[in-house]
Amino acid sequence: MRKLVQWWKWAMVVPMGLCVGLAHIGQAQAQGYPSKPIKIVVPFGPGGSGDITARAFGQYLEAQLKQGVVIENKAGANGILGTEAVKNAPADGYTLLLTTNTTLAANLSLYKKVPYDPLKDFEHLGQFGTAASVAMVSKDSGIRTAADLTAYAKANPGKVFFGHYNSASQMTAEMFKVKTGAPMTGIPYKSIGSALQDFYGGQLQVLFLEYLPAMAHIDNPKATAIGVTGATRFKPWSNIPAIGETYPGYELGFFLGLAAPAGTPPDVVRRLEGAISSALKDEGFLARLAQLGLEPSKVSKADYPRFIQSEMTRWAQVIKDAGIKPE
């Protein structure tokens, strides 16, 4: 009987000691973080808003943590491939995810099955900011306003095509169709570069570009900007009206943030959250966000889960209104 009692005590002590040991290991890892380069996965191709924002923050993070930051573009399946890759990565703070409304909200309504839970599978570290898009058409088309595009599409059914490379570029066009009744056909692309190539090649009549990539094209003599998708005009382009001025109720923007795999050590999470928080108070970084067309985030850490849930609901309604069935 005494041996049985001794064995039971030993059996209880070992797991407790193991848990304490693992906790100490986690703390030691966090204290030494980062001891190697950090990777930020952008689940879309290069050149888009997410890619350029991730690179801007990567430079800031390098300076703050005195460690290298690598940006990896892992495009595919509307951001699902890259997002799933980070979900399955070691939860050690060395693989992070650039998050968007596409990956955290829209995809849940665009696809029947998504291999991740936006809230349960990630530690959300913070949000960089929000922005909107601008509708671009060919200069040769003669279209100069949102009303012109509607009239042109109705007069040429089956001949107006728009390109899309993420949910922002797709749903801004789909919402335009819903609000105006303009018959337009969407063509999917793997990257913004491919869509732009066909736009300038004449295969696409309209393209909704986020503010950031649009900056390189807004003054292109071959293109005309006819309206922005935000609730108000974009200050740097105050001569371009909001589409909602012509079609009340039309408004659609997007957000960009950063996440780590669920289970990342709390000390590491706090350090990364602190880096984002300090970045959003840094004049240089804020100036960079302004250059990128982003309005700094006002969503707190405590409110972030509710914000994501509200975005899921909002995008589900937009997709339903557009008549898009999940794939």
* Rounded alpha-carbon distances, angstroms, from residue 264 to 65, 87, 257, 260, 282: 17, 11, 17, 7, 26
Residue 8: pLDDT over 70 = no
Which strands form 295-296's sheet, in the order they lie side by side?
A: 69-73, 38-42, 95-100, 254-261, 122-131, 295-296
Q: Which residue has the higher pLDDT, 130 or 48?
A: 130
- CB of 67 within 8 A of CB of 272? no
* Rounded alpha-carbon distances, angstroms, from residue 213 to 62, 116, 176, 201, 258: 24, 28, 20, 18, 20
When mean pLDDT is compared across 29-38, 69-78, 198-207, the lowest value belongs to 29-38
Q: What is the mean pLDDT of residues 218-225?
A: 96
Highest mean pLDDT among 4-13, 23-32, 175-184: 175-184
**pLDDT score, position 29:** 52
CA nearest neighbour of 258 among 32, 61, 48: 61
What is the per-residue pLDDT across 138-154, written as a single tens digit (0 to 9) for each?
999 999 999 999 999 99
**pLDDT score, position 292:** 84
The first and second tokens of residue 110, run together, are 């665009």
**Sequence-ordered strand ranges (E) for 54-203:** 69-73, 95-100, 122-131, 133-138, 161-164, 185-188
Q: Which domains does the chain have, with CATH numbers?
A: 36-131+254-321 (3.40.190.150), 133-246 (3.40.190.10)
What is the per-residue pLDDT across 257-292, written as a single tens digit (0 to 9) for each?
999 999 999 999 999 999 999 999 999 999 989 888
The first and second tokens of residue 129, run together, are 């900011």
Instruction: Report long-range pairs for 232-239 (Cβ below 8 Å, ≥24 apart).
Output: 234/132, 234/134, 234/293, 236/293, 237/134
When mean pLDDT is compared across 24-38, 193-207, 219-233, 275-289, the lowest value belongs to 24-38
Q: Quote the mean pLDDT of the chain.
A: 90
**pLDDT score, position 245:** 97
**pLDDT score, position 186:** 96
What is the per-residue pLDDT across 307-324, written as a single tens digit (0 to 9) for each?
999 999 999 998 998 888
